[in-house]
């Protein structure tokens, strides 16, 4: 289990990830764009979102740091663009953490299966901290 840092950018995530990879001498980052996601006819993807970064990850000096662009139309506040991410192999514990932190908070996405995880969800806790929860399948992206 780990608590990882997740940093959001306002359209320049790809540039930032490639820069950090160079500075810290990491392997070339794998980058998933919003356009790489399976299409959903109920939620058509805006053209301006297709090349934005949905997810990337670097191991920087032993810590996982994850990156994403904010989706078009979502708020972005420089300085408040970091969330904590729980990546855990135990589904029951992951659910327990999620349900504990959602009390008094705001759920942004209920725990659910996604195309990248058997269980993912996000919330803002009662103190205003954003948390993401991801079931660890053993694959790293």
Per-residue pLDDT of 87-130, as tens digits, reads 888 999 899 999 998 989 999 999 999 998 999 999 998 867 78
pLDDT exceeds cutoff 90 at 79: no
CATH architecture of 84-135: 2-Layer Sandwich (3.30)
* Segments of the chain assigned to CATH 3.10.180.10: 5-69
Q: How far, in Å, CA of 137 to CA of 28, rounded?
A: 22
At the top level of CATH, which class does the domain 5-69 belong to? Answer: alpha beta
The answer to whether the pTM exceeds 0.75 is no
Task: Measure the CA angle with vertex 65, ends 22 and 88; round to 5°.
Answer: 145
Q: What is the pLDDT of residue 57?
A: 95
Q: Within 10 Å of residue 93's Cβ, how many Cβ atoms?
A: 12
Q: What is the pLDDT of residue 77?
A: 83
* Segments of the chain assigned to CATH 3.30.720.110: 84-135
* Strands ordered across the beta sheet of 53-60: 31-33, 53-60, 63-69, 2-9, 82-88, 130-135, 120-124, 106-112
pLDDT tens digits, one per residue of 6-25: 999 999 999 999 989 998 89
134's CB contacts (< 8 A; 6+ apart) are 85, 86, 87, 88, 94, 117, 119, 120
Q: What is the pLDDT of residue 141?
A: 53
């Amino acid at each position: 289990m780990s608590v990882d840092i997740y940093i959001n950018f306002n359209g320049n995530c790809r540039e930032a990830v490639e820069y950090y990879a160079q500075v810290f001498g990491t392997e070339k980052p794998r980058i998933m764009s919003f356009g790489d996601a399976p299409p959903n006819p109920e939620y058509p993807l805006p053209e301006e979102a297709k090349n934005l970064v949905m997810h990337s990850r670097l191991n920087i000096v032993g810590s996982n740091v994850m990156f994403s662009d904010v989706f078009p139309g979502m708020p972005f506040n420089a300085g408040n663009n970091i969330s904590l991410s729980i990546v855990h192999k135990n589904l029951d514990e992951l659910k327990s953490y999620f349900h504990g932190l959602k009390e008094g908070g705001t759920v942004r996405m209920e725990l659910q299966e996604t195309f990248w995880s058997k269980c993912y969800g996000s919330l803002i806790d009662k103190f205003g901290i954003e948390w993401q929860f991801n079931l660890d399948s053993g694959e790293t992206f």
